[in-house]
């Protein structure tokens, strides 16, 4: 990090690190005990580590001239390392909580190891840690390449990555200590939420400033998606997390929303976290890395326009499909259902556009596991959106809601689509950023591919069975008009599926570990060579 910063940038960085240390100390001193004090201490420790790192390098030689003629890839490399680390943490906890559902006696007697506290560690770890770092890291890369301009400055990319990861660490350690807002995918407490807003604004400003410097008149499709991801996530995050802290010196707060309004705001947020975090951003990734890897332009420009605006406009309406038959007014449910079905059109347009792009490159898909990751991602994207639109239909949802079918759907989207496209992007980026032709262990990519596909299929098929079984058991009546099964019978029926899911998840996790080791080996064997064409037309700002 320090080697790529000029002396004056190191000074600014040092000032920011001191500020972070002070912020941490103030938090810790104000709270004195409990989660907020621990979080203050974590921030102070991180700030102090950065102070030493930057301070120690303050009088190192100035960066070599000519840096402005290069893209700035060091933050992307750092982001990819964080991505694979969070992959192991998040999925490791996923496998563990999956095992706990099969084998609950394994829970150790410490509060922080309990299922209810670990489950959000899994969801936050994978969505924000694994997914979020992948999005930020790739967005820096894609933005520079498609704008043909170097990032607008060298400090804010680090501030974004380090700040975002501090948020993730605060969030997951908070849950372990029992500090949570209980809103799914938005469990972090108020000060972490505020912190994320600061980080996000920095990210947006960096993005816009770099775009403004672009050498291409047109903004490439991938950037539309990354922009939608940044903007709409900000909007959702702020509205859903509005809360009143009990005291400024404590973690606990109460959301300003209550009851049915809270439910609607929560799922407006929840489903659009799916839409703009887990879909839009990753479509941006797809629209860049798929053409690059396959060497073919996107099949239809027109279709990409239609699907982009379709997704941005339709998705916002669908949150209410999480609340069918509940106390939410009927007409809102109906709107959610209708738009969910219409959403299939832009979703399949995107998936179709991606798959049609591969026309004429099928031999590459056969031979190149990296491209195959992206192809499988597009297929799973098509499958899970079809499934989603189907589950949103009210009578279908009467069976599927509250069951493991939802969890199966979730993981067909996240394992099949999100994780696969990330792996495809990592295997494309890691060699390029290391000045190499291939990953350090090309064979391991092939292994990873099969582990991931097998793991995801086992997981998803097991939970389809589980969910449909549950749904049918809960609603079936015997000849006397009494319910046929007790709830407990439905719990007992789940055991084989939960075991299978754990095995599938373990296979998927092994693949991810292989990916992490392979990426590490690749980056360690970097040659430093830069391809002649991989240079900005617009150099960095004058120094």
Partner 1 sequence: MLRLHYNLEKLSMGMVVGIIVAASIGGAVEIAPLFTIDETVVAPDDLRPHTPLELAGREIFIREGCYACHSQMVRSLADEIDRYGPYSLAGESAWDHPMLWGSKRTGPDLARIGGKYSDAWHVAHLLDPRSVVPASIMPAYPWLTRSLDTRVLPGALATLAVLGVPYSEAMIDRAETDALAQSRPDSDAAEDVLARYGDAVALRSFDGDPSRLTELDALVAYLQSIGTLTAAAQEELEEAGK
Question: Rounded to the nearest whole angstrom, what is the least distance from the CB of residue 203 to partner 1 in the complex?
Answer: 14
Q: Is 80 or 328 the residue whose CB approaches partner 1 more closely?
A: 328
- Among the residue ranges 163-171, 411-419, 473-481, 533-541, the one whose residues contact partner 1 (CB under 8 A): 473-481
- The yes or no reply on residue 260 touching partner 1 (CB under 8 A) is yes
Q: Is 22 or 235 the residue whose CB approaches partner 1 more closely?
A: 235
H or E, element range at 255? strand 253-255
**Alpha-carbon 16 to chain mean position:** 26
Q: Is 8 or 486 the residue whose CB approaches ligand HEC more closely?
A: 486
Of 46, 87, 222, 264, the one binding partner 1 (CB under 8 A) is: 264
Q: Is 238 or 493 the residue whose CB approaches ligand HEC more closely?
A: 493
- Among the residue ranges 46-54, 85-93, 126-134, 216-224, the one whose residues contact partner 1 (CB under 8 A): 216-224
- The yes or no reply on residue 266 touching partner 1 (CB under 8 A) is yes
- The yes or no reply on residue 182 touching partner 1 (CB under 8 A) is yes
Question: Rounded to the nearest whole angstrom, what is the least distance from the CB of residue 75 to ligand HEC in the complex?
Answer: 39
CA distance 234 to 369: 35
Helix (H, G, I), strand (E, B) or coil at 52: helix
Sign of CA pseudo-dihedral 364, 367, 371, 376:
positive
Q: Is 252 or 364 the residue whose CB approaches partner 1 more closely?
A: 252
Half-sphere exposure of 226 (CA within 13 A, CB side): 30
CB of 454 within 8 A of CB of 505? no
- The yes or no reply on residue 61 touching partner 1 (CB under 8 A) is no
Q: Which residues are paired to 538 by β-bridges? A: 149
Query: What does 8 interact with, of ligand HEM, ligand HEC, partner 1, none (CB < 5 to 8 A by kind)?
Result: none
Of 76, 133, 253, 350, the one binding partner 1 (CB under 8 A) is: 253
- The yes or no reply on residue 94 touching partner 1 (CB under 8 A) is no
Query: Backbone phi, then psi, for 42, in 5-degree steps?
Result: -60, -45
Burial class (CB in 10 A: 0-12, 13-18, 19+), 23: middle
CA distance 384 to 407: 12
H or E, element range at 269? helix 259-275
Task: Tell me the residue number closest to ligand HEC, measured at CB.
Answer: 116
- The yes or no reply on residue 388 touching partner 1 (CB under 8 A) is no
- Nearest-CA neighbor of 452 among 380, 386, 355? 380
Rounded to 10 deg, the angle between the 190-212 and 133-147 helix axes is 10
Using CB under 8 A as the binding rule, the residues of this chain from 280 to 309 that contact partner 1 are 302, 305, 309
CA distance 133 to 425: 12
Half-sphere exposure of 491 (CA within 13 A, CB side): 7
- The yes or no reply on residue 500 touching partner 1 (CB under 8 A) is no
Question: Rounded to the nearest whole angstrom, what is the least distance from the CB of residue 434 to partner 1 in the complex?
Answer: 31
- Nearest-CA neighbor of 338 among 266, 389, 292? 389
Using CB under 8 A as the binding rule, the residues of this chain from 231 to 250 that contact partner 1 are 231-232, 235, 244-247, 250
Q: Is 115 or 450 the residue whose CB approaches ligand HEC more closely?
A: 115
- Nearest-CA neighbor of 515 among 413, 409, 369? 369
Question: Rounded to the nearest whole angstrom, what is the least distance from the CB of residue 365 to ligand HEM in the complex?
Answer: 22
Of 10, 39, 77, 119, the one binding partner 1 (CB under 8 A) is: 119
Q: Is 179 or 400 the residue whose CB approaches ligand HEM more closely?
A: 400
Helix (H, G, I), strand (E, B) or coil at 36: helix
Q: Is 328 or 420 the residue whose CB approaches partner 1 more closely?
A: 328
Question: Rounded to the nearest whole angstrom, what is the least distance from the CB of residue 532 to ligand HEM in the complex?
Answer: 37
Query: What does 384 interact with, of partner 1, ligand HEM, ligand HEC, none (CB < 5 to 8 A by kind)?
Result: ligand HEM
Q: Which residues are paired to 245 by β-bridges? A: 253
Of 3, 366, 477, 537, the one binding partner 1 (CB under 8 A) is: 477
Contacts with ligand HEM, residue ranges (CB under 6 A): 91, 94-95, 97-98, 119, 122-123, 126-127, 130-131, 184, 270, 274, 278-279, 318, 321-322, 340, 343-344, 347, 384-385, 388-389, 391-392, 397, 400-401, 406-407, 409-411, 413-415, 417-419, 505, 508-509
- The yes or no reply on residue 438 touching partner 1 (CB under 8 A) is no
Question: Rounded to the nearest whole angstrom, what is the least distance from the CB of residue 407 to ligand HEC in the complex?
Answer: 12
Query: What does 474 interact with, of partner 1, ligand HEC, ligand HEM, none (CB < 5 to 8 A by kind)?
Result: partner 1
Burial class (CB in 10 A: 0-12, 13-18, 19+), 481: exposed
SS (H, E, C) 426-494: HHHHHHHHCCCCCCCCHHHHHHHHHHHHHHHHHHHHHHHHHHHHHHHHHHCECCCCCECCCHHHHHHHC
Q: Is 65 or 488 the residue whose CB approaches ligand HEC more closely?
A: 488
Query: What does 422 interact with, of partner 1, ligand HEC, ligand HEM, none (CB < 5 to 8 A by kind)?
Result: none
CA distance 286 to 291: 8
Contacts with ligand HEC, residue ranges (CB under 6 A): 115-116, 488, 491
What DSSP character marks residue 199? H
């Amino acid at each position: 990090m320090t080697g790529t910063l000029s002396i004056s940038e190191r000074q600014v960085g040092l000032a920011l690190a001191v500020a972070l240390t002070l912020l941490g100390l103030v938090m810790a001193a104000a709270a004195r005990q409990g989660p907020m004090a621990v979080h203050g201490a974590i921030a102070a420790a991180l700030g102090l580590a950065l102070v030493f790192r930057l301070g120690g390098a303050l009088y190192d030689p100035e960066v070599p001239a000519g840096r402005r003629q290069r893209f700035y890839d060091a933050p992307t490399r750092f982001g990819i390392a964080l991505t694979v680390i969070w992959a192991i943490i998040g999925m490791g906890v996923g496998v563990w909580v999956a095992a706990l559902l099969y084998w609950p006696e394994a829970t150790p007697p410490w509060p922080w190891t309990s299922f209810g506290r670990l489950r959000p560690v899994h969801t936050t770890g994978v969505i924000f840690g694994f997914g979020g770092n992948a999005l930020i890291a790739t967005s820096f890369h894609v933005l520079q390449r498609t704008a043909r301009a170097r990032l607008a400055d060298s400090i804010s990319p680090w501030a974004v990555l380090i700040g975002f990861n501090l948020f993730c660490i605060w969030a997951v350690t908070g849950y372990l200590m029992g500090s949570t807002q209980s809103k799914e995918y938005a469990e972090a407490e108020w000060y972490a939420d505020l912190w994320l807003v600061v980080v996000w604004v920095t990210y947006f400003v960096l993005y816009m400033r770099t775009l403004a410097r672009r050498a291409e008149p047109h903004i490439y499709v991938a950037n539309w998606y990354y922009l939608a991801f940044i903007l709409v996530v900000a909007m959702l995050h702020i509205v859903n997390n509005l809360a009143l802290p009990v005291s400024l010196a404590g973690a606990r707060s109460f959301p300003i929303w209550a009851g049915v309004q809270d439910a609607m705001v929560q799922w407006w947020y929840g489903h659009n976290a799916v839409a703009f975090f887990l879909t839009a951003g990753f479509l941006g990734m797809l629209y860049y890395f798929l053409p690059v890897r396959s060497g073919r332009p996107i099949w239809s420009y027109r279709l990409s326009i239609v699907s982009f605006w379709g997704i941005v406009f339709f998705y916002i309406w669908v949150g209410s499909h999480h609340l069918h038959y509940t106390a939410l007014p009927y007409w809102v449910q109906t709107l959610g259902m209708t738009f969910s079905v219409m959403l299939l059109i832009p979703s399949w347009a995107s998936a179709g556009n991606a798959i049609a792009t591969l026309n004429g490159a099928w031999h590459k898909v056969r031979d190149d596991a990296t491209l195959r990751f992206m192809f499988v991602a597009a297929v799973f994207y098509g499958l899970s959106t079809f499934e989603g639109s189907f589950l949103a239909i009210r009578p279908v949802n009467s069976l599927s809601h509250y069951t493991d079918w939802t969890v199966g759907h979730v993981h067909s989207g996240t394992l099949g689509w999100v994780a696969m496209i990330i792996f495809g992007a990592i295997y494309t980026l890691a060699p390029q950023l290391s000045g190499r032709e291939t990953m350090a262990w090309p064979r391991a990519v092939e292994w990873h591919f099969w582990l991931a596909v097998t793991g995801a299929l086992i997981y998803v098929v097991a939970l389809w069975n589980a969910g449909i079984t549950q749904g049918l058991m809960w609603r079936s009546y015997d000849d006397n008009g009494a319910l046929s099964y007790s709830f407990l019978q439905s719990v007992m029926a789940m055991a084989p599926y939960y075991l299978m899911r754990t095995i599938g998840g373990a296979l998927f996790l092994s693949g991810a570990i292989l990916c992490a080791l392979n990426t590490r080996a690749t980056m360690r064997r970097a040659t430093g060579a830069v391809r002649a064409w991989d240079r900005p037309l617009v150099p960095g700002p004058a120094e």
